[in-house]
Structure 1
Amino acid sequence: MSEVFFYHLQSRPLDAALPQLLEKCLERGWRCAVQTTSPERVEALDTLLWTYDESSFLPHGTDRQAEPARQPILLTTDESNPNGAVVRFLIDGAAILDPGAYQRVIHLFDGNDSDAVAPVRQAWRDARAGGHEVTYWQQDAEGRWQRR
C-alpha cells in the first residue's frame, strides 16, 4: 500500500511549498511526477522550478519534451509514469486511479478555497477505503508543516 499525504496550504502558496517538498524528495533519491490539470499550469510550474531560488536547481522537464523518462521531476497533465516516479504530487484537483502504483502520493491543496477542499476530502475517503496509510499535514502561521 502507498502512503497518501494531504498537504493543506494555508499561510504559504503552492509556488512556495512545492519546490521545498520536491527538494526533500530529491535529497532522498526519489523520482517525482507533478500532475496538474492544464498545459498552461505545466508551463507555469516549469518556469517556477527554474526561477524560484537563484541558489537552487531542481532538475525537471515536462512530458511534452524529448525523453521524459530521463527527468528526475516530470511535470504533466497525464496519469502515465514515464520517468518511473515513486512520488506523485497531485495539484489543482488532479487525480489518479491507482495510488498503489507509488510509494507516496501527495495531494497539495489550498485550504482557503472551498472548491479545492471537497475533492480532496473524497480523495481522503478513497485512500482510506483502499487501505492506504493517510497522513494530514497543515501549515502553521510561519508556513512550517505540522502533522495533524
Structure 2
Amino acid sequence: MSEVLFYQLSKFPLERALPTLLEKCLERDWVVTVQFGTEERCDAIDSYLWTYSDDGFLPHGTKKEGHPEFQPIYLTTEGDNPNEAIVRFLVDRAPLPDPAQYQRVVYMFDGNDQEALQEARQRWMEVKNSDHELTYWAQTDNGGWDRKA
C-alpha cells in the first residue's frame, strides 16, 4: 500500500512550497521524481532550484543533463522513473501514476484555480476507491501544512 498525499496550494505558490518538501525528502534519503504538466514549468523550476536559497541548492537534474540514475531529484514532464524514485511529486496537473509504483505520491494543486481544484477532487475520489492510504493537506498562513483529512 502506498501513501497518496494531496497538497492544496492556496497561500503561497509552488516555488515557495516545493523546495521545502523536497528538502524533507532528501533529509530522509528518499529519491524523488517531480513530474510537471509543461516543459516551461519544468525548465523554470529547474533553474529556480539552483538559486532558491542563499544557503544552498537542491541537487537535481533533468533529461537534458543525462545520468538520471544519479539524481536524488529528477525533474520531468514524462511518466518515467529513471532515477528509481520512491517518491513522486505531481504538479501543474501532471497525470496521476499507479500509486503502487511508489512508496509515496504527492499531488500538489493550486486551490485558487477552479479547474485544478475540480480535477484534484476527481483524482481524490479515484484514489479513495483504492487500497492506498490517502491524506489531504492545506497550506497555513505561515507556509506550513495542516492535515485536513
Tell me if TM exceeds 0.5.
Answer: yes
**1:110-137 superposed Cα distances (whole Å, 9 cap, x missing partner):** 1111011111111111111121110000
Give the unaligned 5+ runs of structure 1.
none
> For residue 115 of structure 1, what is the aligned residue in structure 2?
115
> For residue 29 of structure 2, what is the aligned residue in structure 1?
29
Pair 1:53 & 2:47 matched = no
Please give the secondary structure, in 2, of the residue aligned with 1:50: helix
CA distance in 1 between partners of 2:27 and 2:9 (Å): 22
Alpha-carbon shift at residue 97 of structure 1 (Å): 3.2
**1:65-96 superposed Cα distances (whole Å, 9 cap, x missing partner):** 21111110000011110001000000000013
Question: How many residues were matched structurally?
Answer: 148
Please give the secondary structure, in 2, of the residue aligned with 1:62: coil
Give RMSD over aligned pairs. 1.0
Alpha-carbon shift at residue 56 of structure 1 (Å): 2.1
> For residue 20 of structure 1, what is the aligned residue in structure 2?
20
CA distance in 1 between partners of 2:100 and 2:131 (Å): 10
**1:31-74 superposed Cα distances (whole Å, 9 cap, x missing partner):** 00000122111110101101110102211001232111111000
Please give the secondary structure, in 1, of the residue aligned with 2:15: helix
TM-score of the pair, normalised by structure 2: 0.95
> For residue 73 of structure 2, what is the aligned residue in structure 1?
73
- Percent of aligned pairs with the same amino acid: 53
Q: 1:144 is matched by which residue type in structure 2?
A: G
TM-score of the pair, normalised by structure 1: 0.96
Q: Which runs of 4+ in 1 moved over 6 A?
A: none
